[in-house]
């Protein structure tokens, strides 16, 4: 491979023709130099006979050969005579091969769609998406009820594995995050409450907000990021590598083997995670109450029992299975939506997380309205 | 003849598992060279070491005049542009069309205009025996044999000196496999390629290979032309060439 500095196209006007001589030994990385020089020279060469002098080349790259062959064709189309110098055997071989195999009229660009067409196609795709989700949900429900009809059909081993994998392993991070949230919320409210001398009310505030809203939401969001994404990616890859098809042909229903255990595991574990998140959050708040407001833990807990009714705790816990159902279904559904290319794994994993967090928040809003109207 | 690849006293170890115990071989310019051996003998590993995907434990590999065990990253990058690799599973980028797959290196490493790149891509698509239309398709939309050809076109796009093929005919039907052999022979003739391949396919070993190395029990048990290899006394060679042909 020659360096691009030495490569040059020499243009020499001779008696009967213009001599275009290639100097240096251009590899594919410096063919652009010649392409550029040829382009600027073309305007001057409008009518004269061209002589391509390839005699100095030892060997030729296909990119250069294509460039020359294309130019010869162009010249011949506008009835300019083209001469070729004698050349080395390898160079001639390359020129002949390029003449035989070149296609200068191919296009590989996708055709531009009109505005209407792309809007239409997009709408239909989205509608299909929604109907596919309902199809998935229906199929999952059938498997769900079938399994409960006869509990022996349930894959207990897989379920227990998933309980460990996506429930128990998530415990430290959920507890730690909730502890810090407790600290932050308590810290912010402590400085406000101090102004009014209402120190003791930090217990009411923390108790209700953590048990009712913060702990369930935070646990759900962490699980959505942790398990929702892993379900989507894992099932997506299994689809690409045809593992899902293999399971089907061996008579293992992927819904029973993959979908249901994951769903059950999350539905069992999310309430438990919320319970631990409650504890961690309250401990975080208690710590700050002691440090910032001088409220001793025993006083904090006395007040806690007094003002925070047990219904707040139950409301938080009850949300758990619903959030879990949303996270698991969306994650798995997105996994099954993966097409036959690697990019769609990334796309669907992102979608799984974003959609499940969004769904959890919407669901939480509904719960707020329902529980408030019911008087809880 | 000029040596383009020379392997000396190569030792490979994965953990406690000794794979190669002192391999010596050389590959000449313009040759089609094959690595043979029972599965698990480290043929693919040897190829991966030569194309610098795998670190070598000890010994040396010289590639186009460079010792790859102490190569600088810029030289390595230059070397990488002088070979093309066809992986066993094709390794086409699934999110790009066939034409985009082929054009990738040109876009990255040359300053050619889009139009010139398109001409080169069209030429390479034709030369491996695909139709121009196939360039607009995604890898998931074409058959196994076409994927092989597309991956070959991608390997050839920079006009490499050496072509590495990892079991090129595996997963192809016999007709496509023979077509592929013919294609390799034709490309060698047209492009002055040297070809290094790992192969199990007896027909392609018989028809395409100039020389070969048989790796068994961590060492090279035979090296040379088909006739020379067949005369070597080794249980693997005996079984491979005799029972395989029945």
Q: Which residues of B are less than 8 Å from A108 in CB distance?
A: 97, 99-100, 118, 121-122, 135-136
CB burial readout A265-298, b (16+ within 10 A) else e: bbbbbbbbbbbbbbebbbebbbbbbeebbebeee
CB within 8 Å: A106 and B139: no
The answer to whether residue A114 sits within a structural domain is: no
* For range A157-186, the mean pLDDT: 93
Question: What band does A236 get if pLDDT is binned at 50, 70 and 90?
Answer: very high
pLDDT at A169: 94
The answer to whether residue A109 sits within a structural domain is: no
The answer to whether residue B231 sits within a structural domain is: yes
Is residue A1 predicted with pLDDT exceeding 50?
A: no
The answer to whether residue A127 sits within a structural domain is: no
Percent of chain A with pLDDT over 70: 97
The answer to whether residue B156 sits within a structural domain is: no
The answer to whether residue A269 sits within a structural domain is: yes
- Domain containing residue A53: 8-101
Q: Which residues of B are less than 8 Å from A97 in CB distance?
A: 127, 190
Q: Which of A16-20, A31-35, B94-98 has the highest mean pLDDT?
A: B94-98
User: What domain count does chain A have?
Assistant: 2
Long-range contacts of A83-89 (CB under 8 A, 24+ apart): A83/A17, A83/A49, A83/A50, A83/A51, A83/A52, A84/A51, A84/A52, A84/A54, A85/A51, A85/A52, A85/A53, A85/A54, A85/A55, A86/A55, A87/A54, A87/A55, A87/A57, A88/A55, A88/A57, A88/A58, A88/A59
Q: Which residues of B are less than 8 Å from A31 in CB distance?
A: 110, 112, 116
Q: Are both A160 and A218 inside the same structural domain?
A: yes
Q: Which residues of A are less than 8 Å from B193 in CB distance?
A: none
pLDDT at A272: 95
> Residues 134 to 153 of B: which have CB under 8 A from any A CB?
135-136, 138-140
pLDDT at A313: 92
The answer to whether residue B61 sits within a structural domain is: yes
pLDDT at A357: 95
Report the 10 Å Cβ neighbour count for B211: 18
Q: Are both A228 and A310 inside the same structural domain?
A: yes
The answer to whether residue A92 sits within a structural domain is: yes
Is residue A5 predicted with pLDDT exceeding 80?
A: no
> CA B147: distance to chain centroid?
16
* For range A170-176, the mean pLDDT: 95
Q: Are both A198 and A57 inside the same structural domain?
A: no
Q: Are both A82 and A207 inside the same structural domain?
A: no
- Chain A: residue whose CA lies nearest to B132: A106
Q: Are both A88 and A164 inside the same structural domain?
A: no
Q: Which of A344-358, B34-48, B83-97 has the highest mean pLDDT?
A: A344-358
Distance CA B146, CA A129 (A): 31
* For range B56-74, the mean pLDDT: 86
The answer to whether residue A117 sits within a structural domain is: no
Q: Are both A59 and A161 inside the same structural domain?
A: no
pLDDT at A331: 93
Q: What would the pLDDT profile of A47-90 be if each residue is shown by its tens digit?
A: 678 888 888 888 788 888 888 888 888 888 887 888 888 888 88
Distance CA A151, CA A100 (A): 69
* For range A212-221, the mean pLDDT: 94
pLDDT at B121: 92
- The chain-wide mean pLDDT, for chain A, equals 87
Q: Which of A17-21, A56-60, A321-325, B209-213 has the highest mean pLDDT?
A: A321-325
Q: What would the pLDDT profile of A25-43 be if each residue is shown by its tens digit?
A: 777 778 888 888 888 877 7
Q: What would the pLDDT profile of A141-158 be if each residue is shown by its tens digit?
A: 888 787 777 777 778 888
pLDDT at B246: 45
Q: Are both A247 and A327 inside the same structural domain?
A: yes
The answer to whether residue B176 sits within a structural domain is: no
Distance CA B115, CA B100 (A): 13
Q: Which CATH number covers residue B203?
A: 3.40.50.300
pLDDT at B243: 65
User: What domain count does chain B have?
Assistant: 1
Look at strands B211-216 and B219-224 and give their pairing: antiparallel
Q: What would the pLDDT profile of B125-155 be if each residue is shown by its tens digit?
A: 998 888 899 999 988 889 888 898 899 999 9
Structural domain ending residue among the three candidates A71, A101, A131: A101
pLDDT at A26: 75
Distance CA A128, CA A132 (A): 6
pLDDT at B244: 55
Cβ-based burial of A34 (10 A; exposed 0-12, middle 13-18, buried ≥19): buried
Q: Are both A164 and A68 inside the same structural domain?
A: no
Distance CA A3, CA B100 (A): 27
Q: Nearest CA of chain A to the CA of B243: how many Å? A: 32
Q: What backbone torsions phi and psi does residue A8 show, to the nearest 5 degrees? A: -155, 155
Percent of chain B with pLDDT over 90: 14
Distance CA B208, CA B187 (A): 12
CB within 8 Å: A62 and B120: yes
CB within 8 Å: B81 and A35: no
* For range B84-108, the mean pLDDT: 89
**B162/A contact by beta carbon, under 8 A:** no
* For range A296-322, the mean pLDDT: 92
Is residue A234 predicted with pLDDT exceeding 80?
A: yes
* For range A208-216, the mean pLDDT: 93
Q: What would the pLDDT profile of B163-190 be if each residue is shown by its tens digit?
A: 999 988 887 888 888 888 988 888 888 8
- Domain containing residue B221: 1-79+199-246
Is residue A3 predicted with pLDDT exceeding 70?
A: no
Instruction: Please answer whether residues A373 and A363 qualify as being in contact, where contact means their C-beta atoms are separated by less than 8 angstroms.
Output: no
pLDDT at A46: 66
Percent of chain A with pLDDT over 90: 44
The answer to whether residue B119 sits within a structural domain is: no
The answer to whether residue A126 sits within a structural domain is: no
pLDDT at A361: 95
Outline where DSSP puts E strands in chain A: 8-13, 18-23, 50-53, 82-84
- From the list A216, A230, A210, the residue with the least C-alpha distance to A169 is A230
- Chain B: residue whose CA lies nearest to A347: B95
The answer, yes or no, to whether ipTM is higher than 0.90 is no
* For range A171-179, the mean pLDDT: 95
The answer to whether residue A122 sits within a structural domain is: no
Q: Which of A271-285, B79-93, B119-133, B229-243 has the highest mean pLDDT?
A: A271-285
Best of B89, B190, B192 to substitute, by most chain A Cβ atoms within 10 angstroms, is B190
Distance CA A87, CA A113 (A): 47
């Amino acid at each position: 491979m020659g360096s691009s500095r030495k490569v040059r196209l020499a243009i020499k006007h001779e008696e009967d023709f213009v001599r275009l001589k290639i100097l240096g030994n251009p590899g594919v990385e410096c063919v652009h130099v010649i392409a550029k020089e040829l382009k600027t020279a073309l305007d001057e060469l409008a009518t004269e006979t061209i002589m391509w002098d390839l005699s100095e080349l030892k060997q030729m790259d296909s990119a250069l050969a294509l460039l020359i062959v294309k130019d010869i064709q162009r010249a011949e189309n506008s009835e300019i005579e083209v001469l070729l110098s004698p050349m080395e055997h390898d160079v001639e071989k390359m020129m002949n091969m390029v003449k035989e195999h070149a296609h200068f009229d191919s296009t590989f660009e996708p055709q531009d769609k009109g505005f209407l067409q792309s809007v239409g196609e997009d709408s239909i795709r989205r509608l299909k998406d929604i109907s596919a989700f309902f199809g998935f949900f229906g199929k999952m429900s059938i498997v769900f009820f079938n399994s409960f009809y006869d509990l022996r059909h349930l894959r207990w081993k897989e379920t227990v594995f998933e309980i460990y994998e996506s429930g128990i392993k998530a415990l430290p991070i959920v507890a730690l995050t909730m502890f810090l949230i407790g600290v932050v919320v308590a810290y912010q409210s402590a400085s406000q409450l101090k102004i009014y001398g209402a120190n003791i009310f930090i217990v009411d505030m923390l108790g209700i907000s953590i048990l009712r809203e913060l702990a369930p939401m935070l646990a759900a969001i962490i699980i959505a990021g942790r398990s929702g994404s892993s379900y989507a990616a894992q099932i997506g890859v299994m689809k690409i590598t045809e593992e899902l098809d293999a399971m089907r042909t061996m008579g293992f229903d992927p819904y029973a083997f993959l979908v249901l255990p994951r769903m059950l595991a999350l539905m069992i574990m999310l309430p438990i995670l919320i319970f631990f998140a409650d504890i961690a959050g309250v401990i975080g708040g208690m710590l700050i109450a002691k440090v910032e407001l001088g409220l001793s833990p025993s006083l904090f807990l006395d007040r806690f029992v007094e003002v925070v009714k047990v219904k707040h705790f139950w409301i938080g816990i009850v949300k758990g299975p619903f959030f879990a159902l949303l996270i698991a279904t969306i994650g798995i559904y997105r996994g099954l939506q993966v097409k036959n290319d690697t990019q769609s794994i990334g796309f669907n994993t992102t979608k799984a997380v974003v959609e499940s967090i969004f769904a959890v928040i919407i669901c939480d809003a509904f719960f707020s309205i329902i529980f408030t109207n019911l008087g809880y | 003849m000029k040596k383009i690849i020379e392997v000396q006293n190569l030792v490979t170890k994965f953990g406690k598992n000794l794979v190669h115990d002192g391999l010596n071989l050389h590959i000449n310019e313009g040759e089609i060279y094959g690595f043979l051996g029972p599965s698990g003998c480290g043929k693919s590993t040897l190829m991966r070491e030569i194309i610098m995907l795998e670190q070598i434990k000890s010994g040396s590999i010289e590639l186009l005049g460079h010792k790859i065990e102490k190569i600088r990253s810029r030289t390595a990058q230059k070397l990488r542009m002088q070979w093309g690799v066809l992986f066993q599973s094709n390794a086409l980028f699934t999110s790009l069309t066939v034409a985009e797959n082929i054009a990738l290196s040109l876009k990255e490493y040359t300053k050619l205009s889009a139009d010139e790149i398109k001409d080169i891509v069209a030429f390479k698509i034709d030369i491996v025996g695909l139709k121009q239309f196939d360039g607009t398709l995604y890898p998931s939309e074409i058959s196994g044999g076409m994927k092989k050809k597309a991956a070959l076109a991608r390997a050839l796009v920079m006009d490499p000196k050496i072509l590495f093929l990892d079991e090129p005919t595996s997963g192809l039907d016999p007709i496509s496999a023979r077509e592929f052999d013919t294609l390799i022979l034709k490309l060698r003739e047209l492009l002055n390629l040297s070809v290094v391949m790992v192969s199990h396919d007896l027909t392609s070993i018989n028809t395409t290979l100039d020389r070969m190395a048989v790796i068994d029990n961590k060492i090279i048990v035979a090296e040379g032309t088909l006739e020379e290899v067949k005369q070597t006394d080794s249980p693997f060679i005996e079984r491979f060439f005799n029972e395989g042909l029945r």
